[in-house]
Chains A and B, each alone.
Chain A
């Protein structure tokens, strides 16, 4: 047998014995079938979207509605356009951007505090009967300890919190709390505390166990371990997640205004209701700008943290 065919045989055995998973295989099949069904067996039709009737709509929109009212009929005038933008920015744009930013900052900080608590109470290793101690020293059979129940309940609570979209939370709160920024802030905070709670829990569970075990064996209580060991060790990673969620918070905050809270979305809806499509698009553009700024800030903060951890 030549060397080459021996190698080929070896490659074949490697291929045959590669790790395979039924779950992965079925999931891939289901995904493919689902995609085909959705595109061919439902009323979703991208071509219809660009049918002549709709394109007529679009044409009128682009030619007439898009230009600011006082500039209509002129040839495209950059100077007039610029002045118009500045005026719009001073009228509502700046205020709306600031409100959007404030809502998202307050919401993400509330979410971070709640998420840290949820994470700590949901972490399996911290909430076991003997935190971080190896099983050999404390024996088995403790798995139905009430603390495990607490941890389980906390994790389910997190799932509930994050399964409901921010927009629906805000819609519900608005009816109860009336018109202030609170419904938007609370909605963002609740949804994100569910997400941060889960991420914090995972972070705590993935911490290196040895230093925490040392604390525990030296007689530290669960509270001591959590405050002196877990908190400083998990903080860096948690802050990374914090800035990642901050970015999405700003994005969502622009939209929550549509319910009547005075963030950017509020003025977008108002402009649309008055048929001022140029104003609407300009405000959407401002929202995009704000999100990009938040993106850059969060990117810089995360990079800075990475160096410091």
Chain B
């Protein structure tokens, strides 16, 4: 009798798998905190740091429109706002140059790394695909700043070094994401072409690639935004992007100038973001 009334197991409040992941993540954070030997007291700036923080953040409300200290400027220096504009312009040009290289490289490597490109071909081509994937992973795994440091050590400082330093890891990232997008794009058109007797190349370039183009374009634009940020940071290593001027102003304790550079960078990135989200709405939806 009692066997007929089997009690159902109580449903878990969270699917156990996710609960376990959450617990694991929290545990990892605690371990990291202990491992880094951190103390919460260090989070509060003290002494000179506190004073500096006060000065720095109060400067946020009055960004500079001209050089803060006009007394010891080099004679041939351009007006402050022009300097800001120049920093932004170099930042943008490096980013455009780098992303244009990366999109071309990323497309080629992305095609070769995708499963859909090698469909309907013999399995021995898998060797090519996997070696390209390893190459992509290697390119991606090293940060653009590290590439920049290596180029500075080997070739010296030149704009092309900054461009290449950004372009190499970005090519890897774009290639990886492009290949995933190609493989996830709808395959109905490709199959129809294949049934009609199209060659594998025709199937891929007419049936598969066009479906992925909107996603590819949207992602490329997003990476361009990232490239602008990376290019700005490379200024800290001596390239003439906005990071260079920001660093100089900070080291001279001209915090109001620092905020002008920060606001300029934020404005450009925010504008790019609005533009890209508008485009994505047109494209992808």
The answer for the CA separation of A186 and B97 in the assembled complex, in Å, is 31
A171 near B250 with CB under 8 A, answer yes
Residues of B near A103 (CB, < 8 A) are: 32, 36
8 contacts between A and B (CB under 8 A): A46-B160, A102-B36, A168-B243, A168-B246, A177-B43, A181-B36, A258-B145, A272-B153
**CB pair A39 B142 closer than 8 Å:** no
Contact present for B52 and A45 (CB under 8 Å): no
* Known contacts A57-B154, A176-B45, A288-B141, A163 near B269 by CB under 8 Å: yes
Q: Once bound together, how far apart are the Cα atoms of A54 and B283, in whole Å? A: 44
Number of contacting residues on A, CB 8 A? Answer: 76
Give every chain A residue within 8 A of B21 (Cβ-Cβ).
Answer: 239, 301, 304-305
Interface string of A274-309 (1 = CB under 8 A from B): 000100110010011101100100000100110010
Interface residues of B in 6-42 (CB under 8 A from A): 14-15, 17-18, 21, 25-26, 28-29, 31-33, 35-39, 42
Assess whether A48 is interfacial by the CB under 8 Å rule: yes
In the complex, the answer to whether B141 meets A177 with C-beta atoms within 8 Å is no
CB of A164 closer than 8 Å to a CB of B: yes
Q: Which of A72-80, A210-218, A249-257 contacts the other chain?
A: A249-257
> A46–B94 Cα gap in the complex (Å)?
12
Given known pairs A23-B278, A308-B15, the reply for A48 and B143 (CB within 8 Å) is: no
Q: Which residues of A contact B (CB under 8 A)?
A: 21, 23-24, 27, 34-35, 38-39, 42-46, 48-49, 54, 57-58, 61, 65, 98-99, 101-103, 105-106, 109-110, 112, 159-160, 163-165, 167-168, 171-172, 175-178, 180-182, 185-186, 232, 235-236, 239, 242, 251-252, 254-255, 258, 265, 268-269, 272, 277, 280-281, 284, 287-289, 291-292, 295, 301, 304-305, 308
Q: Which residue of A lies closest to B214 (CB)?
A: A24
Establish whether residues A35 and B273, one from each chain, have CB atoms under 8 Å apart when the complex forms: no
Q: Are A268 and B146 also in contact (CB < 8 A) when A39-B100, A167-B233, A308-B18 are?
A: yes
Most buried by A among B52, B142, B146, B232: B146
Q: How far is the CA of A277 from the CA of B154 in the complex (A)?
A: 10
The reply on B206 being an interface residue by CB < 8 A is no
A-B pairs with lowest CB-CB distance, top 10: A109-B29, A49-B160, A102-B32, A288-B141, A291-B141, A163-B269, A308-B17, A106-B32, A105-B32, A163-B266
The 8 Å CB contact of B232, one of A165, A185, A265, is A165
- A44 touching B163 in the complex, CB below 8 Å, given contacts A163-B266, A165-B232, A176-B49: yes
Known contacts A109-B25, A163-B270; is-contact A251 B153 (Cβ 8 Å): no
A98 to B275, CA, bound (A): 40
Q: How far is B33's CA from A106's CA once the two chains are assembled, in angstroms?
A: 6
Residue pair A102, B35 in contact (C-beta under 8 Å): yes
B262 at the interface (CB under 8 A from A): yes
Q: How far is the CB of A290 from chain B (nearest CB, A)?
A: 8
| Nearest-neighbor residue (CB-CB) of A19 within chain B | B282
Whose C-beta in chain B lies nearest to the C-beta of A62?
A: B154
Instruction: For the complex, give the distance between the alpha carbons of A281 and B273 in Å.
Output: 36
Q: Which residues of B contact A252 (CB under 8 A)?
A: 143
Closest chain B residue, CB of each to CB of A285: B142
State the Cβ distance, A89 to closest chain B Cβ, in Å.
17
Judge if B93 is at the interface, Cβ distance under 8 Å. Answer: yes
A287 to B32, CA, bound (A): 18
B143 touches A180 (CB 8 A): no
